[in-house]
Amino acid sequence: QLIDSAIAARQDSVTNIPPSPSIITRDYVFDYLIVGAGFSGSVIAERLASQSGKKVLVVDKRNHIGGNAYDHYDDHGVLVHRYGPHIFHTNSREVFEYLSQFTQWRSYEHRVLASVDGQLLPIPINLDTINKLYGMNLNSFQVEDFYKSLAEPREYIRTSEDVVVSKVGQELYEKFFRGYTRKQWGLDPSELDKSVIARIPTRTNRDSRYFTDTYQAMPLHGFTRMFENMLNHPNIKVMLNTDYQEIEKAIPCREMVYTGPVDEFFDYRFGKLPYRSLDFKHETHNTQVFQSAPVINYPNEHLYTRVTEFKYLTGQEHSKTSIVYEFPKAEGDPYYPVPRPENQEVYKQYKALADETAGVYFVGRLATYKYYNMDQCVAQALSVYKQIPVRA
Ligand code: FAD
Ligand code: UDP
């Protein structure tokens, strides 16, 4: 840099043109440009700023921080999640302790009912689901035998259909999984990777929790407040309503962390990667309670997949209640990468390109095309941060 300055000074004296004070030619204002203020971008921004003393600019094209985990008080004063229900759960002590620096927690174990054959039944399928559905009174051992009697063993478990049918057979698959999955993904479970439905276990006991992770809790004052605390550092500046392409040339940064869709970054060079989108229909009802569970899934009826009543999740007390319906669609904001082999092949090409792109780190659900939960995004971001050779 000293040599550069000396050369520049000599050139200036030769041409006699004083350098313009308004044009930054060499010095970087920020060390890192972080594209996206969701979990992935915010964790890396926080680490770079607070642990490595780096100056960080976080940009997001939306008008808020938090990415898809953003929550806010609606017009009626009810705390809602704009992009659908977000329930925090993890087995990682590191992730939980990391986030605990920025929020207190409210203990919360999530439960879901599925509307099947005119009844509301626990999902994941458990002992009570089977007894209620078939009017039986089996115990855990008997229900295990019952599953075995229905199961259609498959040599290879490749698809989401294989996962369910090989465990509990065709009938339960049709009642609980096939319709939901076709709605949610626009694909038959036989066209989706096994990892999608493998998220939902089958149980022989009466455990009706949706998740069994060690840590299950909601940020006491909401996700957005937690993000505010993460990003509240003198080394972090946040710019909203801004696509990074609008400012990347005007505001030089040494390196970039990108958390948007990877195919968009490379101008869809290898074609578009499918991301599943959703329409959210938010409603507020003038009643204390709207439905009998935090989330009700509708595998076989309606165009929406599920209905969420937020007060169960947040613990808020309010005379009214707010809910959201989720209507899946192909186009629109990218919410879910679609796990299937042909998409993985396309992603591999983008990944190879990303690996060769010096000075840019690709992180998160959209940039690494992974169906990650929030805690997995935090874990990935912490691990990428540790790999960044932070220059003095
Ligand atoms: P995002 O949150 O998508 O953030 C990326 C950000 O980048 C966005 O804000 C976007 O605006 C911005 N961006 C993109 N391109 C640009 C650009 N060119 N310029 C500027 N900004 C840009 N996980 C759980 O653990 N539990 C749950 O219960 C749960 N429920 C979910 C329900 C739904 C309906 C959805 C869609 C997801 C759910 N998730 C849940 C997953 C969770 O949302 C993600 O794991 C996590 O929020 C992803 O964080 P991210 O930072 O990688 O991406
Ligand atoms: N699923 C289903 N029926 C259900 C619940 C889930 O078929 O009642 C399948 C469906 O394919 C869904 C996947 O399991 O997309 C994962 O469900 P999860 O609740 O984890 O989805 P997310 O909360 O990520 O939308």
Domain that holds residue 274: 30-109+214-387
Interface pTM (ipTM) of the complex? 0.99
Co-location of 352 and 260 in the same domain: yes
- Whether 25 is in a domain gets the answer no
Pairing of the two strands 236-239 and 321-329: unpaired
98 and 135, same domain (yes or no): no
pTM: 0.94
Ligand 1 atom having least distance to the Cα of 278: 34
Residue 3 Cα to ligand 1 midpoint, Å, equals: 44
Task: State the DSSP string of 344-391.
Answer: HHHHHHHHHHHHH-TTEEE-STTTTT----HHHHHHHHHHHHHHS---
What share of the chain has pLDDT > 70, as a percent? 93
Residue 273 inside a domain? The answer is yes
- Whether residue 373 has its Cβ less than 6 Å from ligand 2: no
pLDDT of residue 299: 98
Mean pLDDT of 150-170: 97
Name the band, by pLDDT with cuts 50, 70 and 90, for residue 26. Answer: low
Tell me if 38 is assigned to some domain: yes
The residue contributing the CA closest to ligand 2 atom 11 is: 181
Give the chain's domain count.
2
CATH code for the domain of 236: 3.40.50.720
- β partners of residue 98: none
- Measured in angstroms, how far is the CA atom of residue 181 from the centroid of ligand 2? 7
Q: Which amino acid is at 142?
A: Q
Average pLDDT, the chain: 94
Average pLDDT over residues 3-11: 43
**Is 326 part of a structural domain of the chain?**
yes
Judge whether 159 and 148 are in contact, CB under 8 Å: no
**Do 258 and 371 reside in the same domain of the chain?**
yes
Examine the pLDDT at 10 and tell me if it is beyond 80.
no
Task: State the ligand closest to the CA atom of 179.
Answer: 2
Report the separation in Å between the CA atom of 38 and the middle of ligand 1, taken as the mean of its atom positions: 6
Average pLDDT over every residue of 260-275: 98
Query: Is pLDDT above 60 for 4?
Result: no
Quick one: 154 and 284 in the same domain?
no
Query: Residues 125, 268: one domain?
Result: no
Predicted confidence (pLDDT) at residue 7 exceeds the cutoff of 70: no
Confidence bin at 63 (pLDDT 50/70/90):
very high
Average pLDDT estimate for 195-212: 98
